Structure 1
Amino acid sequence: MRTTGTAAGTAVITFTESELAAYVTHAPTRRWLEGPGLPGVGGLLTFDALRTDGLRTVGDSTGDPEGRLAADLREQLVIGGLAGLEGPETESVLLDGATGEVTTTYFFHDRPDLMDRRPLAPSLETLVRFATAADELAALRGQFAAYAGRYGPEAVAEASAQLLALYEAGADGEVPPFWRLAAVIRPLALIAGPGTRSGLALDLPPRLLDDEFGARAVVRFEDVDFPSALTHEPTRRFLREVGLPEECVWFSLDTDPPLPTLAEHRADDPHAELPASADHLIRLGHLLEDTSLVVDGTTGAVLSWSEPDAGLRPLNADVSTLAFTLWLIHRAKTLDADHDLTAAYDQLAAAMTRTLAALDPLACDPIPSTPGDDGWRYWPGVFEDEAGGGLYA
């Protein structure tokens, strides 16, 4: 195996003919692996394990001493994985050395009989082309460079249509769920640009929430609704002029004025264990599992307060990214009805987290940042909770 490039993460991985002889008989696949090869790490895929493990079969990786692994899986080659947001691979990427087909699987070392494959690409060439397109969209470069500085529903629709057309052409119209999600969900991050007018993290398009939820379902506040502790003017202005949806899956807004501080909300419980900043945390509403959604009246940061474990954790950077998160959830549910996105629920959850992180990294960053913060993040957590059913249309 050879690598070329200046850094391990960007180096291209190739193999010699003798290294491939025992594993790959498909001629186009052999030629691709001999050169141009595979990138080490991309935004969605990583092949970096090939550097340390080389080519190995699923059978070699599991051992399968009791012979429970399905025959069609045993000789598949493990060449990489789908990259998680923080880097480690999640689902493994497999290559059929006889046909060149690329699929994915989850490894269940204790129950190899439960392992199955899902389609990813008809060939390595197509796989690399699909992954490159997704990475270029995320970075707004290459074939998606024209979208730099463009935001709003039109940019979202055009970028999604362009990426989906590329995938349909490369897969003869049968786009695997992983790439359909990349084409439908990832462009949603183009809906809002950096906050220059609002003084918040994002400038949302006018009437974005009204158009998505319906004008009657969006609540706007007046100054008399705000406690004196809410001194962060961009937050006050956003709640007055833009507002928030009254309900959205895992969120319900408090609509009874005035908005209370967390201390006022729990004033009837003398034994309530509250954070030291409770007098400056304004309760906007509640999430699931006895969890309050609060905004820091001084900084505008949005946090979650879990009553069962008395945990104060970052939720969103501010109310603009909170609004984007709620819009993203509602939009995904609408798109699911047209594209059957929940057919690959785990991949949908990962795409949602990746898209949220593009505009609000704090919402998905597990690094503890508040007293008692254990690193668990609410939105990625509920996205992944398929049993809760929240992302199903």
Structure 2
Amino acid sequence: MRDGARTDAAAFVRGFGPVAEAALLRLYPEPREHGDGMLVLGEFGWLAPRVILLDPATGRVYSHLGDSELLAGGLDTFGRLLGEVRALRAHAGGPWDPERAARAALGRVREYEPGVLTSDPDVCAFWRAALLVWPLLHAPGPGRGGLRLGLTHERLATDLGPERVVRIPSGNIPDVLDSHAPSRRFLRDVGLVDAPPVRPDPDRPLSVAALDAFDPHGYRDPPNAARLVRLGGVDVVGSRVDLLLDADDGRVHGWYRDDEPELFPIAADLSTLAFAQWLIARVRAYDREFAITHDYDGLAAILTAVLGTVDPIAVRGPAAYWPNVFDDEAGGLLYG
């Protein structure tokens, strides 16, 4: 039985490596001994040292980090689950309703592996998170006219509430943004989103529908301060951070105003900033129904990958803001 299980496991890891990578899992070239009779097939592709185990006696597959949680009832369904995620991630265009696509995937999985969709604490929530969140990647569609994503005011207002998405009239947009038409157009036609982790300026609430050029208020100026527009602030534990829009290239930055001021990237443009806020709102709604934060670090890794697909600037490098925000379970931004 054990020799047969090892043979099956070896064939699986050799055949499903690229499919697993699309689901953020890494399969080893050959299965390894775990020391308790289990076989290690691979690991989850983020910081937590979580491994994928196969029980040769039962054929079941587990996620293991201290405790073991069911990942699949067997290698055959494990492969099918990986294929589901890859298909959702690789959608090639055309009409797309992310919630309909996600629920259709959940329905397919219920037919062959219903146990992995339960909220039982002994079942890994990774598949619930993956099947629900990856379809969100394709919801906005490609952007036009210098913006990365084709988000609309209507979509954001429907999901977040109309009072949370505020269009800025042209007369209330600082003149410095005349040099970056895509940003000016997004502010006027789509609007700014009042949703975590962005905080509107308490002295200039978003309901006023007006923006000001950046004023460092006596603090050390960031580079190119005269070309920056303040959108509000972002939540960073223990720090005051301004959210700034660059009128030269449309990028969004954070500016620490503490003892060691620092400018760091937030988003490539206003569309991907709004997309990140919308993602968080959708995840919170899904969590209330499907308890996807039961695998918090897995959910954070999926969100980071989704956002990074449309905006690598937002997630790469040591100063990247979003991976730390998504992964901060103590802060609880993703809880519904």
Could you say whether these structures have the same fold, taking a TM-score greater than 0.5 normalized by the shorter chain as the test? Answer: yes
Q: Which residue of 2 aligns with 1:55?
A: 32
Alpha-carbon distance in 1 for matches of 2:310, 2:10 = 38
Alpha-carbon distance in 2 for matches of 1:303, 1:30 = 50
Q: Which residue of 2 aligns with 1:224?
A: 171
Q: Which residue of 1 aligns with 2:121?
A: none
2:126–2:292 contact (8 Å) kept in structure 1: no
Alpha-carbon distance in 2 for matches of 1:77, 1:36 = 12
2:116–2:125 contact (8 Å) kept in structure 1: no
User: For 2:176, what is the secondary structure of its paired residue?
Assistant: coil
TM-superposed deviation, 1:166: 2.6
Gaps of 5+ in 1: 1-20, 60-73, 107-114, 141-147, 367-374
Q: Which residue of 1 aligns with 2:50?
A: 91
1:245–1:253 contact (8 Å) kept in structure 2: no
Q: Which residue of 1 aligns with 2:253?
A: 303
Alpha-carbon distance in 2 for matches of 1:273, 1:323 = 28
Write the letter of the residue equivalent to 1:292: D
2:71–2:116 contact (8 Å) kept in structure 1: no
Which range moved further: 253-262 or 215-224? 253-262
TM-superposed deviation, 1:339: 0.6
Q: Which residue of 2 aligns with 1:101?
A: 60
Write the letter of the residue equivalent to 1:307: R
Q: Deviations over 1:120-144 (max 9, x none)?
A: 111112112211221122122xxxx
Which range moved further: 297-306 or 89-98? 89-98
1:304–1:312 contact (8 Å) kept in structure 2: yes
Instruction: Tell me: CA distance 1:257–1:190, structure 2 relative to 1, closer, same or farther (3 Å).
Output: closer
Write the letter of the residue equivalent to 1:226: I
Write the letter of the residue equivalent to 1:45: L
Q: Which residue of 1 aligns with 2:212?
A: 260
Within-5 A mapping of 1:100-119: 100-106=59-65, 115-119=66-70
2:70–2:116 contact (8 Å) kept in structure 1: no
Alpha-carbon distance in 2 for matches of 1:213, 1:89 = 32
User: For 1:199, what is the secondary structure of its paired residue?
Assistant: coil
Within-5 A mapping of 1:214-293: 214-230=161-177, 231-246=179-194, 248-254=195-201, 255=206, 258-262=210-214, 264=215, 266-267=216-217, 269=218, 272-288=219-235, 289-293=239-243
Within-5 A mapping of 1:1-393: 24=2, 27=4, 29-30=5-6, 32-33=8-9, 35=11, 38=14, 39-41=16-18, 42-43=21-22, 44-48=24-28, 50-51=29-30, 55-57=32-34, 59=35, 74-84=36-46, 90-106=49-65, 115-140=66-91, 148-151=92-95, 154-175=96-117, 176-196=124-144, 198-205=145-152, 207-230=154-177, 231-246=179-194, 248-254=195-201, 255=206, 258-262=210-214, 264=215, 266-267=216-217, 269=218, 272-288=219-235, 289-308=239-258, 309-366=260-317, 375-393=318-336
Q: Deviations over 1:49-92 (max 9, x none)?
A: x45xx5211x3xxxxxxxxxxxxxx33222201123xxx78421
Q: Deviations over 1:93-128 (max 9, x none)?
A: 11112111111122xxxxxxxx11111111112112
Write the letter of the residue equivalent to 2:40: V
In the alignment of these two chains, the number of paired residues is 316
Instruction: Tell me: CA distance 1:276–1:321, structure 2 relative to 1, closer, same or farther (3 Å).
Output: same
TM-superposed deviation, 1:337: 0.7
Alpha-carbon distance in 1 for matches of 2:300, 2:72 = 21
Larger Rg: 1
User: For 1:362, what is the secondary structure of its paired residue?
Assistant: helix
1:261–1:281 contact (8 Å) kept in structure 2: yes
TM-superposed deviation, 1:274: 2.2
Gaps of 5+ in 2: 118-123
RMSD between superposed Cα atoms in Å: 2.2
Write the letter of the residue equivalent to 2:98: V
Question: Higher relative CO (CA 8 A, sep ≥ 6), structure 1 or 2?
Answer: 2
